[in-house]
Chain A
């Protein structure tokens, strides 16, 4: 997908340029900038971990702060490795924050699923199909039955595995990526392809999905 970059190529704002200069300097100036950046990342990490405290309720007191420090350390390394990628299209601090939020999000999701098994695909689908039969009206039952059939018939094994794990079992994409020795981008591609195939198969069977989804939103 091509993205128009209205702000591409523009010089960074004054504050961002100063960050870059200090991080590329030598000696005490760089050390001071690294310390300030680490503080900034720690603030973002604490913010994110605080938001997700519920999913980390099994952690001991002190573990949250340790996780925040690990997050800030890892985000700092990632930023320094990608400093040349900063295009000046946002403030440097906004650009830096996203690395800390990504690191924190991934770490929290993985901690929350540590030691948990991913539910078996067949088991998940059987439960879903049973609930569809029991709880829905005739029109809905028809659609959900067709979805079940097309998941079995139209999708490849990896597409089916990814779709069921993420869409039915709420397995976080980073957790699934780790278990499948893959990465978020590749797993999302599997998910995207599965959804596209499923939509096409249902459309071929005459289901007007957009109308159906609109009606669901109105309820």
Chain B
């Protein structure tokens, strides 16, 4: 039996995990559909929260989608370093 791990986090992170973002958010399928566009807009320094409403809240509430967002952002960043446009 593995040990529960939640209690080791700070109160803020634990409350966030229990209570979620508390504002309208996308679902996981919508998040995946928008992810490529969202990351490109963000890297182009566009106002992503207006263009893809609910995405930031979902990324705050869903650890798995948030990991994929960070990975795509960093992978594109690494591509830029390899082959700057």
Contacts and interface: CB of A to CB of B under 8 A. Distances in A.
B51 A119 contact: no
A105 B5 contact: no
Contacts of B3: 119
Contact of B72 (A97, A140, A147, A209): A97
The size bracket of the interface on A is: 35 or more
A163 B18 contact: yes
A213 B19 contact: yes
A157 interface: no
Given A1-B25, A195-B20, A91 B40 contact: yes
Interface in A79-101: 89-91, 94-95, 97-98, 101
Nearest to A187: B28
Chain B facing A: main interface SS: helix
Contacts of B52: 3
B75 A97 contact: yes
Contacts of A116: 2
Interface string B1-45: 111111100111011111110101111111010111101100000
A94 B36 contact: yes
Contacts of A44: 75
A206 to B, nearest CB: 15
A20 interface: no
Contacts of A95: 36
Nearest to A147: B18
